[in-house]
Chain A
Amino acid sequence: MAPMLAVRALERRVGDVEILRRIDLDVMPGEAIGVIGPSGSGKSSLLRCIAGLDPISGGTVLVEGRVARPGDGAIGMVFQQFNLWPHLTARENVALALRLVRKMPAAAAQAKAEAALARVGLAALAGRKPAALSGGQQQRVAIARTLAMEPRVLLFDEPTAALDPELTTEVLDVIRDLAQAGTTMLVVSHEMGFIARLSTRVVFLDHGVVVQAAPPAELFGTQAEPRVRGFLQTYLDRVAWARDA
């Protein structure tokens, strides 16, 4: 089977700093890839390069064998900060690109927007502006906005990092449902338990290099590389410290 997303020798340099070094990654249709690693390891950069938001210094990113262009529906991205447009209602946030980019008639775009909002459980709040929504609800609108464009690959860049802990579950539930429905996705997150349960494969990134890419059972188990194990240990220590404190 051909990969849905093929990343080949992807490099990104800013000045003399190498942010990403020769990243190779194939993502099969329906796969959910978890991306973990320390801060500054290049996780977000990897997603931004795949999305075409940051320029790449070398290599290729192909979706179904073609170079993706913004708005062609190949790649959708959900940001840490939601990035909703504050002057538009939830419905308008979702419908805008359908109308302007997909050239859908207003009524059809509205209907599709509402269907997308219903899918993330927000049908009742379609008329609200972002400021009148909780962080979790805003993030779900952002997911609906991306879903409505029916991307082949969905990227999540720390989708719950800006949320209060009690609001993360509703967002993670939506992402899990999408994964179970067969959406091809890459998820950058520090929610290790979630990544372990969600992913078909987990990629551990450090200093712009893929240290290990393996099914979660391996990566979170005894077959973890030493560097991965070290990272996970400090992570577990922190969780234990927080629990005991």
Chain B
Amino acid sequence: MSWDFLVEAAPSMAWATLATVWISLAAVAVGLALGVPLAVAADRPWARLYVSFFRGVPLLIQLLLAYYALPFAGIDLPPLVAAVGTLGLCCAAYMAEILRGGFALVPPGGVEAARLLGLTRLQILLRIRLPISAQAMRPALISEAIMIVKASSLISVVGVLELTRSAQALASSTFEPLPAYALCGAIYLGLNLLLMLLARGRQPGRPA
């Protein structure tokens, strides 16, 4: 990778990295927010159908659906919103499984005590079940976040400018696809290593 190439690539790739970061953050936020009710309703038919669909259809096809089929159904969203939304909806299906597993680890006695003291179901979910299981779910949640960072590359296909799209542009403008995609891959790797450090950084009982 030549110095000239890096100088040319730096500005656009830096912006694109930021775009990927916030797109992933938004998708994970949507995924978590929707994952909680999905996890609670895991045995209901609609929740099963939801999880089955979003885990059964390739994300690429889901994105194309949002891009092509939603306007057809009269729902016209800006590509960015459709893309981030789809990523978040898909993420929720995976989050639901993680959260369900985490909730199962909460000792039933703690929930019973809360019920007896009069906490509502929502309060028990948010104040008792979620925080108690959070620590145990951390590694799985971080893995899911890493999957989302990687999956966000697919939204380049519907024309949203992020890392992969930016690398494509760079590859065609410089006629140097090899360094362009290598740089792109390295940035993804860096982001994910950062996430892994985050997962490892604050585990209890581990010397800092």
Residues of chain A whose beta carbon lies under 8 Å from any beta carbon of chain B: 51-53, 69-73, 75-77, 79, 81-87, 96-97, 100-101, 142, 145-146, 149
Contact = CB atoms under 8 A, between A and B. Distances in A.
Nearest to A101: B118
Given A81-B109, A83-B107, A85-B132, A100 B123 contact: yes
30 contacts: A52-B116, A53-B115, A70-B117, A71-B116, A71-B118, A71-B119, A72-B118, A76-B116, A79-B109, A79-B113, A81-B107, A82-B109, A83-B109, A83-B113, A84-B110, A85-B132, A86-B132, A87-B131, A87-B132, A96-B117, A97-B118, A97-B119, A100-B120, A100-B123, A142-B113, A145-B113, A145-B117, A146-B117, A149-B117, A149-B118
Interface of B: 107, 109-110, 112-120, 123, 127-128, 131-132, 134
Interface centre among A72, A75, A86, A149 (most CB of B within 10 A): A86
Nearest to B117: A97
Contacts of B118: 69-73, 97, 101, 149
A82 B112 CA distance: 11
Contacts of A100: 119-120, 123, 127
Nearest to B204: A131
Q: Tell me the interface secondary structure of chain A in the complex.
A: loop
Contacts of B128: 85
Contacts of B123: 100
B117 to A, nearest CB: 4
Contacts of A69: 118
Complex A-B, nearest 8 residue pairs according to Cβ-Cβ distance, in ascending order: A71-B118, A83-B109, A97-B117, A101-B118, A83-B113, A87-B131, A81-B109, A70-B118
Contacts of B131: 87
Nearest to B111: A83
A44 to B, nearest CB: 12
Nearest to A155: B116
Nearest to B120: A100
Contacts of B117: 70-71, 76, 96-97, 101, 145-146, 149
A233 B114 CA distance: 39
A96 B119 CA distance: 9
A146 B117 CA distance: 8
Contact of A101 (B112, B119, B134): B119
Interface centre among A77, A79, A87, A101 (most CB of B within 10 A): A87
A83 B134 CA distance: 18
A52 B118 CA distance: 11
B116 A70 contact: yes
Contacts of B119: 71, 96-97, 100-101
Contacts of B116: 51-53, 70-71, 75-77
B132 A79 contact: no
